[in-house]
Structures are given as structure tokens and as C-alpha cells.
Structure 1
Amino acid sequence: MSHDSSKQDQKSDVLKPEDWAGEMGLKWLESLSLFEEMIAPIGDALLARADYKHGETVIDLGCGGAATTLALAATVGSSGKVMGVDISPDLIAVAQKRAKESGATNAAFTCADASTVMLPDAPYDRLFSRFGSMFFEDPIHAFSNLHRLVRKGGRMDLAVWGPPRENLWIMEMMGVVRNHIEVPPATPRAPGPFAFEDLEYLGEIMDGSGFTDVDVVAFECMQPIGGAGATPEQAVKFAFASMAVGRLLSDKGDAIVQAASEELTDLFAQYYTPEKGVMMQGKAWLVSAIA
């Protein structure tokens, strides 16, 4: 596997598992439906590619608020089961509530760090993750643990972000931020949303953790920033409250925040489509591998 990846590309920032157990998990929860609407096209594409069957058992890694867990549970049917794993206790609580309300009796949840979690019903047939696998500080150790949780010959399916420069939504937003403050250089291969932009690096992790037959396809789509139907102003509010834009500008003073907000509003207006929202291009790698 190989991919030309410029070391000068910027990532949003470095996020670690403990961030998701606390502040980031809460931020995701506060804007849960908006995040889910933004990345739903990629999750749907990954589900279609994975092609789950009735009766299969599946781990949903980084399950968040259970949108994908419930979709998986419906797909594998009553004879199958899905275990959602997330490090955020707040998101797991919401996931459990959603599953109960939906009547998904074949969905269960565990609050744990996936790099060390032990599941009593392992090994599972399959492993699924929509953007939940890029934050491990020691990814080979983490994926080695996940490998133990999947039966020999079982399949793993991941969605991870492609290179930032090929994701218009992050490049345009970070361009606005850079007009107002200095953004530190990215650390290549560091834990964070774009940790696996470099497919050569991803291949090294798969090899080192025991996964084989790695196959990657690129998936591009238009994503609604701030949720389906959001106005430019609503999308800016979402970005400042929940994304790297807000974290980077949070301590820079009201004048800088206001100026960046106005510029971001103008940017989003260029991509706004009535009833659809602020539609910006995104690119993900859909990755499959065999345990």
C-alpha cells in the first residue's frame, strides 16, 4: 500500500482517547444529531460495502450515540448481535437509551478503551468503525487487541478520513483560521482525525497487528456542515462549538473570534444550498481487512 502524503498538510489538532472520554465526548454529544447528519453519507457507504448478513456478530468501535450500532443491529437481525464500544461514558449512556427506545434487543454497549477492552463474547465475526479508530496513541497495540476480538478469517471495515488537502470542508475552514492566527505545524501520524491519511502508515499498522488482505477504496461525497439544512450562521455556530475551529480560537480574544466568525459565515454562504445546507466535499478511505 502506498500514498503520496505531504508532510506539510495540516491536521485539525491532536486528539487522544482520554479527550474522547471527557471533553470531546461531551462536545460530540451536545451536537450529536448534527455530527451524525454530517457524516451519515460515509457511514452509509461503509455499511453497504461491508455487506453484513443475518446472524453475524459485530463490534461497533467508537459507536458514539449508536446511530451505526442500531443500523448494524437491524441488518444482522434478531439472530445476530452488535456490541457498541466507546470510551465516552456520556455517549454510551445515550446509546443505551436509544437502543432501549428503539427495541433493538440485539444491541449492547460497553464503555471502555478499545485498545485494552476484553469482551466476554469474543471472538466476534466482524468489526466495524465509522471514524472511531484514528485516535490510538499506540495503534499497533490497539489493533492487535482488536484482532484478538475478531475470529480468524473475520473481517474488519473502517471509515477513516482521507488527506486534509482532499477534504474541502477542513481545508477551507482551517484556511479561515490561518488568516487570523498562527496554526502549529501538524505532527505526521499523530492521533487525530487524519491519522490514517497516509495509507502506507495504515498498512504498517495492519501488518503489525495481524490483519491481512487490506483493501482500500476512496469515497467522496458532499457533507452538510452543521447538519442537514443548516444555514451558514448555524454552521458557523456548530463549527465554533464542536470542531477544531473553536478549539484553536477559544483563547484568542473576542475581536479575533468575531472576525473569523464573519469570514467563516461568508465562506459557508458560498456553499449553501437552501433546504440542503452548507454542502462541502469530503473524502474518506473505506478500509477492509481480514483477521
Structure 2
Amino acid sequence: MTTAAAPEQLKGEDWAGEQGRKWLSHIDRFEGMIAPIGDALLAHAGVTPGERVIDLGCGGGLTSLALAEAVGPDGTVLGIDISPDLIAEASRRAEGQANVRFLCADAATVTPEDAPYDRLVSRFGSMFFADPHAAFANLHGVLKPGGRMDLAVWGPPRDNPWMMELMGVARAHIDIPSPDPRTPGPFAFADLDYVRDILAHAGFSAPEVETYQGEQAIGGPGALPEDAADFALASMAIGRALAEAGPEVLEAARNDLLSLFTRHYRDGEGVMMKNKVWLLSAVA
């Protein structure tokens, strides 16, 4: 059996480069897949008219645009992302919107010239910092005293069958070593004690956690099992690891993914798999 790097350690997490381009190539499917979580985050955050908000890891800008609508003409939204490709797409989508703008930068170190802001919101954009303690100390500095931060981050892998079952398929064909659970990547903040420690060291207080549990449509709402399998292999780090093992391994894994997704397919909805997300809040 071929041994591959753990997906969290692959270059697929290089959002400034390859991973940003992959997200853009499949942006409608990615956004459709996590849209219900984004809606839950915005409802949890409760941004109000007139507030100045940073959207951390803004991606293609849909959350930024929703925040811009919430803050209204008297508020402003700054979307920050390290991917120039995604910032270009976000800027295109927001053309004509006077209260939203975008900045291509590393949020771990950047201080926007018009800081501090009232609020910071992030939908899955906060788990990839190489040095999260330093990064969140910097984020604390871009918020006003008493400013609120709201994050959506994945809960434990075991509570996210959409990922665990995909990993199970991959591990049936290639040997993927288990990474350090705190390695920067999708599940880096699954351990709430670890997150609370990071926030406390950065100067944040009053941390609160709300649990979101639901289902997400792999490959987007309405995707057929074939579409979902091709999406997973083309856009996720396990796809590259399987491809590097050779075409026969890749084809066998695709067949297993197809079987998995067929079991979870619901007509008119798509390939629906369970998830668990932490909605984290803290005060600067």
C-alpha cells in the first residue's frame, strides 16, 4: 500500500496558491455545500447596521456581501484573504457595492490602515495559521476594546462523517498517517480547550460556544453521487494523494466513493452527510 502525507500536511492547504485556485475552480459547489453553516454563523453573530466588520478568510466574498447587507450603508465590511485568485473573484462579485472592499493579505500579520474594527467574522477561515497564538494576538489588535469575534470552525473529525468516511475510503487504498490534531488545517480547532487557550493568550475574553449540527450536500445541493465523487477527488487533498498512487488506485477509490455517496444520496437534495461545527464567540 502506498504511503501518503496526511491531508492536513499537504500543500493543498496553501491557500495563497494551489488551494485557493482549487476553491475558485469549484467555488459554486464549495459554497453550496457550506451555505447552511454560513447562514447559522451570521445568525449567531447578529451583526447590526452601522458596524464595521472584518470577514476573515473571505474566499469568494459571499459572506462579505451578506455582512454588507446586514451593516447597511452606514457600516463597512473588509474581506481579507491570502488568495489573490479568490480576492479577485470577491471584488468582481462586489462591484458597485460601496460598503464592502477586499484586501489580499495574511491576516496573521496585517493591520488594516483603518483599524480598529467593531467586529470580526470568519466562516472556516481561522484554522490555518502556522502560529495561531501570534495570529490571534494580531487579530485582537485590529478590534476595538470590547469588539466581538465570531468564528465557525469544524468540530472533532469523529463527529464529521462527511470527512471521516471520505478518509476511510482513502485509507483503504493508501496509507495516510494520522497528523498532530493541532496541525494547521480544517480540524485544528476541534479541541475547544486548545482554542480557549489561544484566545486567552491573545487577550480575548468571555468565550462562548454554540454547537451546530446538521447535514451538508457534498459537491453542493442536488449533486449526483458521480458529481460528488469527482468533486471530492478534484478539490480535496485526498484526491491528490490518491492520484499520486497511480490511475488504478485512483479509479478503485472513485468506485468506493461512488458507493459511499450513493448510500447517502437523497433525490432532490444531493449527497447528504452529517457535520458538526463550533460557533465560537469572544470579546477583545
| TM-score, scaled relative to structure 2 | 0.96
Shift of 1:119: 0.4
Whether contact under 8 Å (2:147, 2:283) holds in the other structure is: yes
Instruction: Call closer, same or farther: CA 1:198–1:16 in 2, change over 3 Å.
Output: farther
Question: After TM superposition, where is structure 1 displaced by more than 3 Å over at least 4 residues in a row?
Answer: 15-18
Instruction: Call closer, same or farther: CA 1:276–1:70 in 2, change over 3 Å.
Output: same
Shift of 1:217: 1.3
Shift of 1:15: 6.0
* Structure 1 residues 78-227: aligned runs within 5 Å: 78-100=73-95, 103-227=96-220
Whether contact under 8 Å (1:122, 1:150) holds in the other structure is: yes
Provide the rounded CA distance (Å) in 1 between the counterparts of 2:243 and 2:180.
21
Amino acid in structure 2 at the alignment position of 1:35: F
Provide the rounded CA distance (Å) in 1 between the counterparts of 2:25 and 2:60.
11
Indicate whether 1:70 and 2:65 are aligned: yes
- Percent identity at matched positions? 58
Corresponding residue SS for 2:94: helix
Indicate whether 1:57 and 2:58 are aligned: no
Where does structure 1 lack aligned partners over 5 or more consecutive residues? 1-10
Where does structure 2 lack aligned partners over 5 or more consecutive residues? 1-5
1:196-236 C-alpha deviation (Å, 9 max, x unpaired): 00011101100111111000111011100001100000000
Provide the rounded CA distance (Å) in 2 between the counterparts of 1:76 and 1:255.
52
Amino acid in structure 1 at the alignment position of 2:193: E
1:148-193 C-alpha deviation (Å, 9 max, x unpaired): 0000001000000000000010011101011111111211211000
Amino acid in structure 2 at the alignment position of 1:111: C
Provide the rounded CA distance (Å) in 2 between the counterparts of 1:105 and 1:14.
39
Shift of 1:16: 7.4
Q: How many residues align?
A: 280
Corresponding residue SS for 1:255: helix
Corresponding residue SS for 2:248: helix
Provide the rounded CA distance (Å) in 2 between the counterparts of 1:207 and 1:20.
27
Provide the rounded CA distance (Å) in 2 between the counterparts of 1:196 and 1:190.
9
Provide the rounded CA distance (Å) in 2 between the counterparts of 1:229 and 1:245.
23
Whether contact under 8 Å (2:10, 2:237) holds in the other structure is: no
Shift of 1:25: 0.3
1:28-80 C-alpha deviation (Å, 9 max, x unpaired): 00000110011111110010011111000000000000010000000100000
> Which of 8, 14, 31 is matched with 1:13 structurally?
8
Indicate whether 1:45 and 2:78 are aligned: no
Corresponding residue SS for 2:78: strand
1:249-269 C-alpha deviation (Å, 9 max, x unpaired): 120011110000001001000
Corresponding residue SS for 1:28: helix
Q: CA RMSD in A?
A: 1.4
Whether contact under 8 Å (1:12, 1:174) holds in the other structure is: no
| TM-score, scaled relative to structure 1 | 0.94
Instruction: Call closer, same or farther: CA 1:259–1:37 in 2, change over 3 Å.
Output: same
